Amino acid sequence: MNKSAGQLASASADGTPYQGSPLRLAFSLLTPREQRNAFIVLAIFLVSSVTLALSVASVYPFLLVLTRPDVIQTNAWLQWGYRLVGSPSEFTFILLLGGATVALLVINAALQVLRVYMIERFTQMRIHTISVRLLEVFMSQPMTFFLGRNTGDMAKGILNETREVVQQFFRPAAELAAGVLGTLSVIVVLMALAPMITLIALGVILLSYAIVYLFSRTILGRMGVSRVKANSERYRISREALSGIKDIKIAGTEKFYLSNYSRFSSEAALTQSRANVINSAPRYMVEAVIFVSIILLPLVYFDEETLINGGLLTGVLPELGIMALGAQRLMPEVQKIYRSISVMKFGAAAVTSVHSDMIMPVDPAMKIKPSSRSIRLGKSLELRDVQFAYPTAEGLALNGINLKILKGERIGIVGTTGAGKSTLADLVLGLLRPREGDVMVDDVRLADEDIRIWQKAIGYVPQHIFLSDATVAENIALGAKTGHADQSKIEEAARIAQLHDFIASEMPQGYDTPIGENGVRLSGGQRQRIGIARALYRDADLIVFDEATSALDSVTEGELVAAIDALPGEKTLLVIAHRLTTVKSCDRIIVMKQGRIVASGNWDENLRDSPDFRDLVAQKSE
């Protein structure tokens, strides 16, 4: 079974980054099963490298016998092979050698195709699995984590940097392993046949690549960091430009965003192109040196008479042939090694970036884990002596909160901006955990492991409803698997939310009508009603309205308040409101100020007894 993101992160539970090379960090991103698969891929590389060596080696005896048939009787290995096939005629033996060489070349080609397939499958699946685990890590963080992180950066990490880790590190690492094994196998063959020439050629190749890499490695490292930064800016600017398009058009600042995006996009593209040139250029220079050497070698070591009289043909042509074939096979492998090392150097920054996110400690209360248990609001919900402070804030956001809400009560919460209303709601929702004090459900403390279960009993209707670019039905039954939503339950929830008639009469495909991105085809009131219907579809015991009417006009607000008032009496409602008219009919209105509850009562009681409430009423009436 694959290791979850939480298990993967647990290796560094305190959030301290691992120490080690980028290769070690990258390997730690893999689950145990994926690590085993990596070794299976390496085994296939080993087999393909052996066939590569055999295919190269098989050419030599064929050329040797072809040019000097008498060698069959003097070479021990050829004698053994000759007897093995029944001592046929020399011509038949040459045909058999040629057939064996062709067969080995075909087998080698097939194994090289298999090698490419294994690399592609392994690397592409790592884009999938690592991005899924990184998304799980992010989604398993507490709500306070998202207050200090840019969502564009997180999206970039999931969609782009995980791909870069694979393309700029895992893929070249696989190619590096294949290249090393292939190179060693060819070198063994060449050393056995022509050790001195092989050593000279190998020295030229390795020295050439080593010199280039020593000069380029620091540059490639800096380029990798630059690419990560430029890519972050590209994601940030594009997200801001598209999400704020209305304000940008009104302000006429399109060119500002285009210019900024273009600058960082150009930087990322140029950085990548320069890295690609550094990775590829040495091959052509070294190839030229090797093949010039093959041409010059007979001219330097043989006199005119030998060359003219054909002594070269019978003397060293087999050796030159095998060297030419060996060089032709060796150069791609050595280039693969160099390019892989260079690309990995460039991709190290992406590995560090993804790894630092992947090892973040996961809040146990926020882990995504299914449970058959249920927690229902049977009698009451209570906050006892609750204190809360945000991680980066100096003071308390909530201080000494004591609040008991009975099942079926409709509680309004009001106060000036920054009074702590939404923070209190987030504590009730289980998105935040108290620094001190407890949240009690039916007089039982809500423990960390109960949070996800408790949230199943809660409906949430915020000011800005999250709407998926899907159908009306899919948005009401948000999160239900396709084909598993209860249509009758969807329609019943829509009726209670006073949305059914609109859907049936105005939506061209009824509940199957797409609503567009962020519900662009719906009015503000209709979006809020979908939020109410969603809470009802979940059969929520407690429905929290967080400034749900703040963005609506007074007429639409009145209609929505009427819909809220018409909700079934067994539902417990917690209504956080900026507009006091939204909470006027609540059983109790809680008045908050500077993180404390300063008054509690119905409208008339608060108006009579609470100066702070009277101030709020006076401010709203001005």
Amino acid at 105: L
pLDDT higher than 90, residue 414: yes
pLDDT higher than 90, residue 585: no
Backbone angles phi, psi at 498, to 5 degrees: 60, 45
Look at residue 304 in the predicted model and tell me its pLDDT: 56
pLDDT higher than 50, residue 418: yes
Backbone angles phi, psi at 589, to 5 degrees: -120, 120
Residue 223 domain flag? yes
Q: Is the pLDDT higher at 577 or at 367?
A: 577
Residue 448 domain flag? no
Of the chain, the percentage scoring pLDDT greater than 90 comes to 12
Dihedral sign computed on CA atoms, order 473, 477, 482, 484: negative
CA–centroid distance for 250 within its chain:
35
Q: Is the pLDDT higher at 28 or at 524?
A: 28
pLDDT higher than 90, residue 591: yes
Mean pLDDT of 338-366: 82
In the listed set 503, 522, 539, which residue is the last one of a domain according to the structure?
539
> Do 477 and 359 belong to one domain?
no
Average pLDDT taken over every residue of the chain: 80
Question: Which residues, in sequence order, are bridge partners of residue 544?
Answer: 460, 574
Residue 569 domain flag? no
How many angstroms separate the CA atoms of 474 and 512, rounded? 8
Mean pLDDT of 89-115: 82
Residue 377 domain flag? no
Mean pLDDT of 266-283: 80
CATH of the domain at 476: 3.40.50.300
Environment class of 519 (CB within 10 Å of its CB; exposed 0-12, middle 13-18, buried 19+): buried
Please state the length of the chain: 622
Domain that holds residue 25: 14-363
Q: Tell me which residue of 283, 285, 296 sits closest to 323, measured CA to CA.
A: 296
pLDDT higher than 50, residue 156: yes
Look at residue 428 in the predicted model and tell me its pLDDT: 92
Look-up of token digits 């006091």: 580
> Do 335 and 479 belong to one domain?
no
In the listed set 363, 390, 407, which residue is the last one of a domain according to the structure?
363
pLDDT higher than 50, residue 13: no
For 526-546, letters b (16+ CB in 10 Å) and e give bbbbbbbbbbbbbebbbbbbb
Lowest mean pLDDT among 48-57, 263-272, 321-330, 468-477: 321-330
Q: Is the pLDDT higher at 43 or at 553?
A: 43
**Residues 370-383: tens digit of each pLDDT:** 556 788 888 999 99
How many angstroms separate the CA atoms of 571 and 204, rounded? 81
Residue 583 domain flag? no
What is the token pair recorded at 446? 């809500």
Mean pLDDT of 91-102: 82
Residue 269 and residue 226 in contact, taking contact as beta carbons nearer than 8 Å: no
How many angstroms separate the CA atoms of 490 and 315, rounded? 88
Look at residue 290 in the predicted model and tell me its pLDDT: 65
In the listed set 520, 539, 558, which residue is the last one of a domain according to the structure?
539
pLDDT higher than 80, residue 292: no
Give residue 369's pLDDT band: very low, low, confident or very high (50, 70, 90).
low
Q: Is the pLDDT higher at 88 or at 509?
A: 509
Maximum separation of any 2 CA atoms in the chain, in Å: 123
> Do 328 and 471 belong to one domain?
no
Count of domains for the chain? 2
CATH of the domain at 295: 1.20.1560.10
For the CA atoms of 480, 483, 489, 494, the dihedral, rounded to the nearest 10 degrees, stands at 80
pLDDT higher than 70, residue 215: yes
Residue 402 domain flag? no
Gyration radius (Cα) of the chain, Å: 36
Residue 178 domain flag? yes
Lowest mean pLDDT among 196-210, 307-321, 414-428, 541-555: 307-321
